[in-house]
Structure 1
Amino acid sequence: MQPKVSVYFDFNSPYAILSAVRIYQIYNKDIGAIKQQETEYPLSTTDITSCFIKSEVTRNPIRSKYTWSDSARTLKRLGIEKKFEEPNPSWWPQGVSLVNKVAYILMCRDTFHNAAKEVISNYNQADFDPSWRDTITEAGSSLESAIASEYVFRVYEQFMLEHKKLRDDGVLSGIVEKILAKYPEASRRLGRTSTVLELAKKSKSAKSVAQGFTEEAIGRGVFGVPTFSTEQGEIFWGNDHLVDAAIIASENHVAKAKL
């Protein structure tokens, strides 16, 4: 079992996109060289679990201007050259409830299974064999992590960089379709894009999972995003603390194994 770090996101947060890019780089190779701090416990050996929450948007003109400009210059260092502009009401903020539920359908076998039982008539689990999730990719991560992290990155890309409206079915389905096209077996076992979206829209269990993580974040004392939390409850706020959280989680994991 790997050390685990939970990451609390809000898709409306410009700072959270930085963590989304970094996590995507960890689990996928095709974005270019991974730029990460060398540590005794590399990030690739840490189970980074994304949790998507609803949070209040703090409106402060000076803070807002800095947040967006700071995110823009950091994205360039991460290899993202697309222009990152300050928002306007035509595209920001947006409702992300469905976006969050799709994420959980993709990244959690239990959520998919429970949603499928609820929505698909004559559901046969054998037809949706989840073993593809454990397939190890060339990047050394599980296929589940590769797909989930790319989904988060692509949502941010369409939202924050392309200014697309995520509520448009074509936008969200296009994101999922493009990712699953690279992984035919995963796509087949998920029932393809149409099934993923149907489960996210109709399943009460998927909605419950999404709400549960917001409640969990509040219970853990999360006050901003992105926030990283270890299994022991240590909280790290801010994009620059991903490595710190991974180190502490790994140290705790090693110490626990020695008991």
Structure 2
Amino acid sequence: MARQPTLEFWYEFASTYSHLAAHRIEAAAEAAGVAVRWRPFLLGPLFASQGWTTSPFNLYPAKGRAMWRDVEREAAAAGLPPLTKPDPFPQNSLNAVRVAVYGQDQDWLVPFSKAVFAASFAQGKSIAEPGSVIAILDSLGLDGTQVLKASAAEANKTKLRVNVEEARSRGIFGAPTFLTDDGELFWGNDRMDQALAWASGDRPPGLR
């Protein structure tokens, strides 16, 4: 029996388009016969290496205005709750991503990740403070205080740094990014379907 193809889904909790992708990738991947590996990481260090101190959507206001309207349209089309713009944007996602990296091999990673996105972009809640992350974990039936404490251990901080360096080494520069088994990179929520098709072997003529 052939091995099921896998698509890596690299996402950042402060990313608007990661929010959209996180809520539709499971159904789309199942339909395509592709497994998904969720890969949380931080964009900040990658932006800093390009000389950016904040999101490019803040650095270029016209681009930012277009993005917020686009995400609003896309959320409505996907049947998601109305979009809420976090204040400030982007939110500090360090505590949340540490937890996600800690839980990367746990069955609660996906529901936790989707709950963080919903809190930030649908419910207008902060995801920056430790208490906010603990509340999300508690709502999933976990011991939020203990999980957050474990995620702040040096071994897990190192794991997060390794994730960021892996993203950098593999050419990732934004989120969401999708990587196929053969290393093909697709950037952006609007490229998810193409990424899934490539992963499943359905590729444009002349491209292999």
> TM exceeds 0.5?
yes
Deviations 1:197-226 (A, max 9, x none): 11012x112111111121111111112211
State the match for 2:111 in structure 1: 150
- Matched residues in 2 for 1:167 and 1:223: separation? 22
Q: Give 1:196 deviation, angstroms.
A: 1.1
**Distance of aligned partners of 1:150 and 1:44 in 2 relative to their CA distance in 1, 3 Å threshold:** farther
Q: Counterparts in 2 of 1:99-178, with a 5 A limit?
A: 99-108=96-105, 144=107, 147-178=108-139
State the match for 1:13 in structure 2: 15
**Distance of aligned partners of 1:228 and 1:81 in 2 relative to their CA distance in 1, 3 Å threshold:** same
Alignment partner of 2:40: what SS? strand
State the match for 2:51 in structure 1: none
State the match for 1:123 in structure 2: none
Q: Counterparts in 2 of 1:174-253, with a 5 A limit?
A: 174-179=135-140, 181=141, 187=142, 192-201=143-152, 203-251=153-201
2:78 is aligned with what amino acid? L
Alignment partner of 1:53: what SS? coil
- Matched residues in 1 for 2:11 and 2:139: separation? 22
The structure that is helix-richer by fraction is 1
State the match for 2:42 in structure 1: 53
Deviates more, 1:72-81 or 1:42-51: 42-51
Q: Give 1:241 deviation, angstroms.
A: 1.9
Alignment partner of 2:182: what SS? coil
CA root-mean-square deviation: 2.3
- Matched residues in 2 for 1:80 and 1:169: separation? 26
Q: Is the 8 A contact 1:46 1:250 kept in 2?
A: no
Q: Is the 8 A contact 1:7 1:49 kept in 2?
A: yes
Is 1:91 the counterpart of 2:88? The answer is: yes
Deviates more, 1:61-70 or 1:161-170: 161-170
Structure label with greater radius of gyration: 1
Q: Give 1:21 deviation, angstroms.
A: 1.1
- Matched residues in 1 for 2:182 and 2:120: separation? 33
Is 1:75 the counterpart of 2:97? The answer is: no
Q: Give 1:3 deviation, angstroms.
A: 1.8
For normalisation by structure 2, the TM-score amounts to 0.80
Q: Is the 8 A contact 2:4 2:33 kept in 1?
A: no
Alignment partner of 1:214: what SS? helix
**Where does structure 2 lack aligned partners over 5 or more consecutive residues?**
48-54, 203-208
Q: Give 1:85 deviation, angstroms.
A: 4.2
Number of equivalences: 189
- Matched residues in 2 for 1:72 and 1:167: separation? 22
- Matched residues in 2 for 1:47 and 1:20: separation? 11
Q: Give 1:17 deviation, angstroms.
A: 0.8
Deviations 1:43-62 (A, max 9, x none): 46413322322233212111
Q: Give 1:7 deviation, angstroms.
A: 1.7
Q: Percent identity?
A: 25
- Matched residues in 1 for 2:200 and 2:17: separation? 25
Q: Is the 8 A contact 2:136 2:144 kept in 1?
A: no
